[in-house]
């Protein structure tokens, strides 16, 4: 049955929505069309026509006639069937914005609706041109009217492009009209726009640099800490524990705090001095404990390291290297902190909460003997 339908002006939604009947006070299932129309209207008012009417809460919904999971939606979505889904902690939501068109240019509902909005808006905004003298002056006025409208759309974020000339164009001159058009009273205007498409799939690519790559980068650019007048804003860093092999890198750390060192001062006074003042001399160097936090990734390397420390293994002390990466994501190390003879003195896991959506975390505190920066 689905194969018989093909239209850029239609969309399919599934399943039916369950609500409380206000008259008979019992739960009933209703077709999704009315709910979708309401979501369209709310989306147009609160956001814009060009925003996909999806990832929207279904108001008054108590549930759906059939509860769909991701695997089932992965089958229905390529067929152009938009699904209602229940998400833990986020409620009942419409999770799809595709038309039933086989033309990939008109795959999304918001794209088709936005072009309909542009067509009707431009048509209504240029009605003043009807019966005007069809010449150069009229063509220039029509171009300005449409360009002003599209410029406003671009400023609102509806069109793609960092400049207006990349987002749209408007042509209305002899190149768009033949003599036959002029003889028959037709004004032809050619308009092109670069519309935004929804981010239907959000894909995150996470990479891990190898020790060899970092070493090559340092050789190529020995002076990596270039002078600048503003701090680094994106905290992308790598943590390497132990040797220089690629396996020394531990991924997933999202927080590193407490890196620092302190030079103590010893006070003394010479016995034969007449001045009653204290003299000072440089004492011991102290390093502050470092705290690292990350989501639990299933690796036992940190536990094995801690196990060696608590069992008195003197070879378990390691060198920990923390590298702040460049903002342009070129694996270039901006600053490198080296913690000499580091050991774990505290390891904490949790809290674990099966009801929430938080990531399971683990935290370790490192004590070390010397800090070096490069």
Residues 95 and 18 in one domain: yes
CA 186/CA 130 separation, integer angstroms: 10
How are beta strands 12-14 and 81-87 bridged, if at all? parallel
Residues 135 and 17 in one domain: no
Can you give the pLDDT at residue 223? 46
Q: pLDDT category, 92, cuts 50, 70, 90?
A: very high
Query: Based on the number of CB atoms within 10 Å of its own CB, is 64 exposed (0-12), middle (13-18) or buried (19 or more)?
Result: buried
Residues 367 and 292 in one domain: yes
Kindly state whether residue 10 falls inside one of the protein's structural domains: yes
Q: pLDDT category, 85, cuts 50, 70, 90?
A: very high
CA 341/CA 331 separation, integer angstroms: 26
Can you give the pLDDT at residue 226? 44
Last residue of a domain, which of 50, 76, 105? Answer: 105
Task: Supply the Cα-derived Rg of the chain in whole angstroms.
Answer: 33
Residue 357: CATH number of its domain: 2.30.110.20
Kindly state whether residue 233 falls inside one of the protein's structural domains: yes
Kindly state whether residue 74 falls inside one of the protein's structural domains: yes
Judge contact between 235 and 335, C-beta under 8 A. Answer: no
Residues 295 and 345 in one domain: yes
Q: Which residues of 92-110 are buried (b: 16+ CB within 10 A; e: fewer)?
A: bbbbbbbbbbeeeebbbbb
85 versus 279: the higher-pLDDT residue is: 85
Residues 234 and 355 in one domain: yes
Residues 263 and 297 in one domain: yes
Tally the domains of the chain: 3
Coil/strand/helix, residue 327: coil
- Residue range 9-68, pLDDT digits in tens: 999 999 999 999 989 989 999 999 999 999 999 999 999 999 999 999 999 999 999 999
Kindly state whether residue 150 falls inside one of the protein's structural domains: yes
Residues 295 and 355 in one domain: yes
Which domain range does residue 318 map to?
211-268+279-373
- Residue range 183-229, pLDDT digits in tens: 999 999 999 999 888 876 666 666 555 555 555 655 554 443 444 44
Judge contact between 264 and 283, C-beta under 8 A. Answer: yes
Is pLDDT at 154 greater than 80 in this prediction?
A: yes
Percent of the chain with pLDDT over 90: 45
- Residue range 347-361, pLDDT digits in tens: 887 777 666 556 677
Can you give the pLDDT at residue 352? 75
Kindly state whether residue 251 falls inside one of the protein's structural domains: yes
Q: What is the mean pLDDT of the chain?
A: 82
Q: What is the pTM of this model?
A: 0.54
For the chain, the distance separating the N- and C-terminal CA atoms, rounded to the nearest angstrom, is 67
Kindly state whether residue 201 falls inside one of the protein's structural domains: no
Last residue of a domain, which of 193, 227, 249? Answer: 193
123 versus 205: the higher-pLDDT residue is: 123
Residues 83 and 147 in one domain: no
Residues 339 and 227 in one domain: yes
Kindly state whether residue 181 falls inside one of the protein's structural domains: yes
Coil/strand/helix, residue 8: coil
Residues 303 and 366 in one domain: yes
Residues 177 and 86 in one domain: no
Is pLDDT at 280 greater than 90 in this prediction?
A: no
How are beta strands 190-193 and 237-241 bridged, if at all? unpaired
Kindly state whether residue 113 falls inside one of the protein's structural domains: no
Q: pLDDT category, 235, cuts 50, 70, 90?
A: low
Residues 300 and 366 in one domain: yes
């Amino acid at each position: 049955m689905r194969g018989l339908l093909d239209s850029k002006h239609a969309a399919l939604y599934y399943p039916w929505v369950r609500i409380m009947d206000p008259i008979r006070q019992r739960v009933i299932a209703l077709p999704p069309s009315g709910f979708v129309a309401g979501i369209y209207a709310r989306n147009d008012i609160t956001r814009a026509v060009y925003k996909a009417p999806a990832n929207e809460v279904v108001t008054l919904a108590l549930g759906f006639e059939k509860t769909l999971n991701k695997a089932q939606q992965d089958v229905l979505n390529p067929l152009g069937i938009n699904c209602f889904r229940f998400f833990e902690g986020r409620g009942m939501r419409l999770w799809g914005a595709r038309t039933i068109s086989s033309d990939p240019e008109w795959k999304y509902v918001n794209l088709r609706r936005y072009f309909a909005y542009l067509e009707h808006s431009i048509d209504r905004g240029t009605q003043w041109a009807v019966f005007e003298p069809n010449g150069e002056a009229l063509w220039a006025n029509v171009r300005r009217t449409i360009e002003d409208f599209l410029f406003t759309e671009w400023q609102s974020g509806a069109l793609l492009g960092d400049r207006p000339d990349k987002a749209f164009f408007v042509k209305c001159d002899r190149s768009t009209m033949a003599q036959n058009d002029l003889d028959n009273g037709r004004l032809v205007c050619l308009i092109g726009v670069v519309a935004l498409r929804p981010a239907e799939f959000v894909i995150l690519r996470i990479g891990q640099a190898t020790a060899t790559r970092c070493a090559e980068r340092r050789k190529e650019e020995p002076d990596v800490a270039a002078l600048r007048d503003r701090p680094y804003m994106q905290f992308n860093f790598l943590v390497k524990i132990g040797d220089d092999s690629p396996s020394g890198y531990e991924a997933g750390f999202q927080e590193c705090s407490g890196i620092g060192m302190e030079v103590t001062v010893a006070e003394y006074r010479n016995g034969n001095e007449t001045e009653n003042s204290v003299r000072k001399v440089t004492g011991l160097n102290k390093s502050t404990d470092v705290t690292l936090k990350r989501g639990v990734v299933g690796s036992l390397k940190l536990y094995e390291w801690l196990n060696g420390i608590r069992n008195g293994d003197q070879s378990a002390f390691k060198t920990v290297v923390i590298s702040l990466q460049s903002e342009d994501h070129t694996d270039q190390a901006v600053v490198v902190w080296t913690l000499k003879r580091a050991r774990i003195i505290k390891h904490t896991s949790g809290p674990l909460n099966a009801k929430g959506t938080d990531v399971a975390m683990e935290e370790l505190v490192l004590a070390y003997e010397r800090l070096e920066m490069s």
